[in-house]
Structure 1
Amino acid sequence: MTNLKIPSLQHLARNWQSTPSGIAKQLIELANNPPTFNYNPLFSAVVDMLVLNVPYEHICEGIRRKIKWIALRENYLETLALIYKYFQCVNPTYVQRVGRRYYPVGRGLLVPFDPPIIYGEKGEVYFPWLSFWRINPLLGERLSLFVTLVEEMLRNDPELEGARFQILDFAAPGKKKPRQLVVRDTTGIPRLNPSRISEMLSTFAEGYLQAVYELSSAKTPPATGDSPGRDKNGDSQLSLI
């Protein structure tokens, strides 16, 4: 049996479909054919660099030493260079780590949300979400869903209330083109009304539970071999320094 993890808030938005069966099908495909890597090491690198003040060059050296898959290593380094350049220009007065939050979707489903940091600049608090997807970033109603849910969490959190919500999008404009950093001020992104949010979350919760049921009823062989983005213990959150 293939286990289905509860998706993160941004993956909920990205995998949302108009029907529960469509959501279930997509989640089952992801569970049976998971990505060979993830961007958790980049989130860790951001915290190391901006919160713990680990020198940028040391983090890059850690990536070169630890990541053996060349394409993945270059992917990380390309993105990290954009992050470093951006925060060198912003020059925040302080940076703080932010802990995991959960959003109740319904049917007992709590979806995790892991914002890496908040920072201060010129008397204002900024809440940046770092989107590392190279292609197919959130757009349209899926983007509105994500932004609306995050904004609700910010309003209800004393630690984050009043922070300016930005999306730092590191997507590439084409498959063979380098990444570019686009900073999105979320004030210009349309919000969804409560009834539409309720409808979309209910659809997702039903689709997720349908996927869990279908996977629990199926017999699938365990995965074998090492994935390029994991270490020998199966831990995808690699230590980069």
Structure 2
Amino acid sequence: TDRAQNPTGAAVSAARARALREVLRGHPGTLLVEDDHGHRIVDLPLHPLAGATRHWAFVRSAAKAYGPDLRLAVLTGDEVTLDRVRGRQRLGPGWVSRITQRAVARLWADGAVDAGEVAAAYGRRRDALIAALAERGVAARGRSGMNVWVPVPDETGAVARLLQAGWAVAPGARFRLASPAGVRLTVSAVGEGEVGELADAVASAVRVSPRRGYV
């Protein structure tokens, strides 16, 4: 994911893209799949890696920018990979609503979403939450997109305490393999006036209570 990575909000810079392309050129048989779901909601430029290997696919979806009901994406790639995708579609539900296709094409053509304003709005909420958490001694990060990643000592406990306080967050276990524990906060529905309240709840939820001993 070149930008707005889920859950950390990481984005590939131009320098990082050059370094990754050099690595990929040494492994030309690698299948490279890039998902640009952050298109039109991110204010950072795209630095794709496509073309560094023989087989590649680049996907750009519409759900994040235009609404979750628009489960549609455009795909390009090398000839062999595209043929394999078409073959898979023939074996299952490969049909996509023509009405949905035309709706998305019209939204793109008419510029229905002000990409700059959308990206700026997400950026303001994301940066405000990260700053508010820092003021409360909680480390967090999120460079692009709508998510903020908060390292926590205990995912289950943090998620439960936040839910009890009225906030639903995603446990990090579903996103990680060997990296430390964390939770994902999504700022898409967080109003500017709610940032402080959310930061207070997170700061309280991630604090580890001292263990008690009994004799």
| TM, length-normalised to structure 2 | 0.29
